Chain A
Amino acid sequence: MTDLDATVVPPVRLKLLTTLTAVSEAEFSTLRDTLEVSDSMLSKHIAAFEKVGYVTRRKGVHRGRRTTWVSLTPRGRKALSAHVAALRALIDGVD
């Protein structure tokens, strides 16, 4: 059985990566509102993912304000797939 990815285990992090699979790039406040988390919480999770190369972020402008755009990397996509497979195996193992 594939091991769970410790970086992705917290549910909000799984939500963040999964949400990013729907878009090529998302603006910080869009992600914050979708995930219903605080700015600091989202920043913390993005920083953790950026550290392991699962997401990239860049500075940009949205509605005339400086902001951050976040996107999933190929490595992050692969890690998410593996983590979801491990979760499904865990669920199937009990059923």
Chain B
Amino acid sequence: MPSAPESTPILSNMESDPEHPTAAEASAALIEAEASRATLAHGIATPSWFFASISAAVTAQIATTAVGLGADVPWVMAAGLAIFAAIAGMQLARFRRLNGVWLGGLASRVVLGTGIPASSSYAVALGAAIWAAYDARWWLVALWSIAGGGAYALSGRRWLRRYRALPAVHGRGESAAWLVAVGVAAFAGLAFLLTNG
């Protein structure tokens, strides 16, 4: 039986070689790839009450830490931390479920507040609330706690805007090792306050 003639893959001048794209094809591929990334980043949404609940959790955490130290009731501090951990964990799970992605940057910068605006406003608010609690000015404790929680949430919103503009830069967040180091430092600070407060 005569065999069919083998076809030779000769490319005409009008056809492109997929292994060696032309400059126009390279440019189109890059534009498409970046558009695809932008589509994903712009489609990222936060679950309902996300920032409000993070703000409330941080407010409660600052207030309970200040009250716990000012009134010498350590369990109040532990309760505040537990409230924060529960709300943060729940909102991260909702975010993942809603978007089908995990964003390390959101977990660290927005929820754990590792960005400079969130961490510095938190430190100022916590310090002022503790000072007010030692002076038994409870209305100031409430005020500083609310201010700290609000600033924390606002810096989270700012991060989300920056992420949407430059997703590859902001998406990953800090490394796990860095987060562990921050966690250890936070617990050490809390233990210091509990033992020397």
* Interface assignment of B32: CB less than 8 Å from any CB of chain A: yes
Q: Roughly how many angstroms separate A14 CA and B29 CA in the complex, as a whole number?
A: 7
On whether the beta carbons of B104 and A34 are closer than 8 Å, the reply is no
Report the Cα distance A26→B26, complex, angstroms: 26
Would A22 and B23 count as touching, CB distance under 8 A? no
A88 vs B21: C-alpha distance in the bound complex, in angstroms?
12
- State the interface size on chain B (CB cutoff 8 A): 32
With A18-B37, A21-B168, A22-B41 known as contacts, the answer to whether A27 contacts B18 (CB < 8 A) is no
> Interface code A16-58, partner B: CB below 8 Å = 1, 0 otherwise?
0111011111110110001100000000000000000000000
Closest A residue by C-beta to B105: A24
A1 touches B (CB below 8 Å): no
Main SS at interface, chain B:
helix
B100 touches A24 (CB 8 A): no
A82 within 8 Å of B (CB atoms): no
Say yes or no: A14 contacts B171, CB within 8 Å: no
Write the chain B residue with the least CB distance to A64: B97
Interface-central residue, B37, B41, B101, by most chain A CB under 10 Å: B101
CB distance from A63 to the nearest CB of B (A): 6
Q: Which 6 pairs from chain A and chain B are nearest by CB?
A: A30-B100, A22-B167, A94-B23, A27-B100, A18-B33, A24-B104
